[in-house]
Structure 1
Amino acid sequence: MKYVLEHGILSATYSNKSLPISKDSTKGYTPLDLLVSSIVGCSQIVFTQILEKKRISYDSLTIDVQIERAEAGAKQLKKVHIHYTLTGVTATQEAIEKALHLVPKHCTIAQSVKGSIEIEETCSIVNES
């Protein structure tokens, strides 16, 4: 990966893809955006892999995220709450929650921030009639 700073925007380039990073969210992703996205992205990948291995199918998956930050100092990220909503699920709520319970110990990013950022993951199933 290569990083170049131009006009206050840090561009990360990897495999012919560019990722703009900036303190100004109108010009690029903020470092906080990237940290939260890394946590959520890793968790989602692990969760859907576990569902696939358990042969649990679903029609759609959406993710809502809430964060908590410290009020003073560097205002570090304290907590990330990830809520998955699945539709058209072929399993029970209990089976989905068991799968979700496996995510933290298999997610590289969750393990990397363990002890400094609390990650809470919940899920709900929406059965469309």
Structure 2
Amino acid sequence: MKFSMTENGFSGDLPYGELNVSTNEEFGFRPYQLLVASIAVCSGGIIRKILEKKRMPAEDIQVDVKEIVRIDEEAGRVAKVHLHFIIKGEIDPSKMQGILELTHKNCSMVRSVENSMEVVETYELV
């Protein structure tokens, strides 16, 4: 990956397309948004894979970021993210706690931040 300075932030030409990052939302994604999005989507993808392996494929998964706690005194550091998964499908509720534990263990983004931020995962089955 390579990023180049622009008038209002940085731009990267990635395989899928151009990514604009800026501290101003008018000109690109804010860095903390990309961090939270990476954690949310990685976790959602792992849940999806686990459910498929357990022969309970989800019809749909929504990831609702319920809370983001930032610490202004520490340069706006993200201290906590609460992810709420809304899962549609024929899912056995008795297996969900284990699925969340496996998700937490196998999501590379969660593992990357585990010693610096709290990641809370809740769910509802619909």
Map 1:12-91 onto structure 2 (within 5 A): 12-15=12-15, 17-65=17-65, 66-87=67-88, 89-91=89-91
**What is the alpha-carbon distance in structure 2 between the residues aligned to residue 112 and residue 64 of structure 1?**
21
**What is the alpha-carbon distance in structure 2 between the residues aligned to residue 58 and residue 15 of structure 1?**
28
Aligned length: 125
Compare 6-15 and 117-126 and name the one that shifted more. Answer: 6-15
What is the identity, as a one-letter code, of the residue corresponding to 1:124? Answer: E
SS at match of 2:36: helix
Q: Under a length normalisation based on structure 1, what TM-score does the superposition of the two structures give?
A: 0.89
What does residue 112 of structure 1 align with? 112
Compare 51-60 and 76-85 and name the one that shifted more. Answer: 51-60
1:5 equivalent in alignment to 2:42: no
SS at match of 1:56: coil
* Unmatched runs of 5 consecutive residues or more in structure 1: none
- Deviation track 1:55-80 (CA, whole Å, cap 9, x = no partner) reads 11232221110211114231210011
**What is the alpha-carbon distance in structure 1 between the residues aligned to residue 16 and residue 50 of structure 2?**
30
> Percent identical across equivalent pairs?
32
Structural RMSD (CA): 1.4
What is the identity, as a one-letter code, of the residue corresponding to 2:40? Answer: V
- Deviation track 1:16-41 (CA, whole Å, cap 9, x = no partner) reads 51110001012100000011111111
SS at match of 2:94: helix
State whether residues 2 and 13 of structure 1, in contact with CA within 8 Å, keep that contact through their aligned partners in structure 2.
Answer: yes
SS at match of 2:68: strand
